[in-house]
Structure 1
Amino acid sequence: MNAYIFPGQGAQFTGMGLDLYEQSKLAQELFEQANHILGFSITDIMFEGSAEDLKETKVTQPAIFLHSVILAKTLGNSFKPDMVAGHSLGEFSALVANGALTFENGLKLVSQRALAMQKACEIKPSTMAAVLGLDDDVVERICKSTEGVVVAANYNCPGQLVISGEIDAINRACETLKEAGARRALVLPVGGAFHSPMMEPAREELAAAIENTTFNKPSCPIYQNVTASAVSDETSIKANLISQLTAPVRWTQSVQQMIADGASLFTEVGPGNVLQGLVKKIDREAQTASASFEGNSL
């Protein structure tokens, strides 16, 4: 079975999407439509902007979404997913890929999500840290016993977990995690505590937008971050998307479940190959690939 996976924030790079724009009439039309929907020229930033320009949350999230979704659409008839999943932001790309969301509605929600998260980050300083070399339960226990807000946020692969919360609490937890034998406990250069209770204001804002958006019956199941299980009904998809901002990304568990349900090839659609690396760390036998547009349809 073919599983298609979609990356999240951090996968951006300068010049992203330019090759698609230059080679595909469909890609050109979708990028121009995106500029119109967003009200600014995101293509200028994607194609010519600096790494610093691309780091802005209101740019980063729509840029990665556009790269993934437009690439999927240029694959034409060869794009036949049996199941999809996306890492955090990538969940929105996956929902356009399986038909649950239209391109326009997906982009609008991603833009609203980015702005809501940015606002939540400005309310109180917060951050995230990567923890390497400890079992999940040890990290969870230390988070629980640390004073302040600090939670497990991204279960990326065995031995790699990202924690999220208040800056002081994250720093305290990192010290304790190192003492407990973590190979690394490194504060990340991010603007806020994503996938933690500190995103509650963003969750409330995004909930209203999601509730007012039409979702369609998907062509195949999506393995959502919150449940790490196959979901096919629109009501559950919406509820899980809303919960996602304050709940952990269960990527390890999602990939394990996809394999248990018959996934034989994981194809990453979008910038970078981070997810392929994580899949291999979750299951060394798993087959992975990058989606690539090869034809010239101009």
Structure 2
Amino acid sequence: MTDSAAATIDLAMFPGQGSQRPGMAAAALDVFPEIARKVFSRAESATDLPLTELCVSGSKEQLTRTDITQPAVVTTSVAAWEGLRSTGFHPRAVAGHSLGEITALIAANVLEFESGLAIVRRRGELMAQVGELTGGAMAAIIGLETEQVERMCATATGLVEVANYNSPVQTVVSGDADGVNAVAAEAKRAGAKRAVRLDVGAAFHCSLMSTIEAEFAAELDRHEFRDPTITVISSITGTVVNDGEEFRRLLRSQLTRPVRWTQVMEVARQHDWHSHAELGPGKVLAGLVRAIDPVAVVATTATARHLLSLSDPSMSTLR
């Protein structure tokens, strides 16, 4: 596919939790039925979850469960990746947002698919436990500069920290309910366009997750981490990382560290990479990219038409 739309892609991006939606595997199963079925079969064997059924006909409530969401999103993204790779899809680099970091490591051959799924399954279970024990909340603050939100977190009553640097004017905060509510209220008073509580099962990427770091590290130690075979821009550091063992250390710290998506896209811009594809359910990352890089063109794989466009230039939806 040397002349396809896929040949023009600089960065393949993998979404995280929050991108799940009912029927999210339909596109990959329609466009690449044999490859996608094989991916889902392997995932079901590795996780002991009925992922095909969940990702085709599962309810919103089922897919919102953290222990199900995480393997479901990763498997859907890998199915799109493997299908496109069979047609000659060769981006210059990969990156993943939060959970999507693990998908990116699978794509870059740092982790075997089954190892990635085992890590993801354990990650989801542990995060769900934290959610049950501590509660917690997250909110997206839209329309204020990151530095303003950081100052609000520093002075708020309760525990609240920046969880996602999504764009220069979209910052996600995470912590206990009192802290998150306080920052959301202050952000509205300061002129934020929106301060939206997120429908998540726990307070991700904040110090509330520190209680599960040791257990998660034990899971990470069960698996081999190799050096990547394709450039990986880590959303944990916001830099290119090329050492497998460093990724092992980073995934442990990711539980309590913020997602640096703005920095990921700045690295892409420094390389003059402006053509991207979001592989997986939804189009959250596509929206963030356009907010960060006004000249970027972005494809998604959320529907069969969009997925087909990456292997058929006459149907290209890059824009």
The one of 138, 141, 160 equivalent to 2:170 is 160
Pair 1:11-2:49 in alignment: no
TM-score by length of 2: 0.88
Q: Where do 1:1-298 residues align within 5 Å?
A: 2-22=10-30, 23-75=32-84, 76-291=86-301, 293-294=307-308
Partner of 2:236: helix, strand, or coil? coil
Percentage of identical aligned residues: 38
Question: Displacement of 1:185 after TM fit?
Answer: 1.9
Change (3 A) 1:218 1:77: farther
Letter in 2 for 1:101: L
- Which sits farther off after the overlay, 17-26 or 283-292? 17-26
Shift of 1:18: 3.1
Instruction: Tell me the amino acid that sits aligned with residue 6 of structure 1.
Output: F
Q: CA deviation at 1:77?
A: 4.6
Q: Which aligned segments of 4 or more residues in structure 1 are displaced greater than 3 angstroms?
A: 291-295
| Secondary structure of 2:166 counterpart | strand
Q: Provide the aligned C-alpha RMSD in A.
A: 1.6
Q: Distance in 1 between matches of 2:184 and 2:26?
A: 40
Q: Is the deviation greater in 219-228 or in 136-145?
A: 219-228
Instruction: Give the AA of the match of 2:64.
Output: K
Q: Tell me the secondary structure at the aligned position of residue 78 of structure 1.
A: coil
Distance in 2 between residues matched to 1:78 and 1:113, nearest whole Å: 32
SS in 1 for 2:208: helix
- More displaced 10-residue stretch of structure 1: 140-149 or 73-82: 73-82
SS in 1 for 2:291: helix
What letter is aligned with 2:44? Answer: N
Q: Can you give the 5+ residue segments of structure 2 that lack an aligned partner in the other structure? A: 1-8, 312-319
* Count of residues in correspondence between the two structures: 295
- TM-score, normalised on structure 1? 0.94
The CA distance in 1 between the partners of 2:231 and 2:130, in whole Å, is: 31
Q: Which moved more, 1:64-73 or 1:214-223?
A: 214-223
> Residue 130 of structure 2 aligns to which amino acid in structure 1?
A
User: What's the offset of the Cα at 1:280?
Assistant: 0.6
- Shift in Å, 1:276: 1.0
Q: For structure 1, which runs of at least 5 residues remain unmatched after alignment? A: none
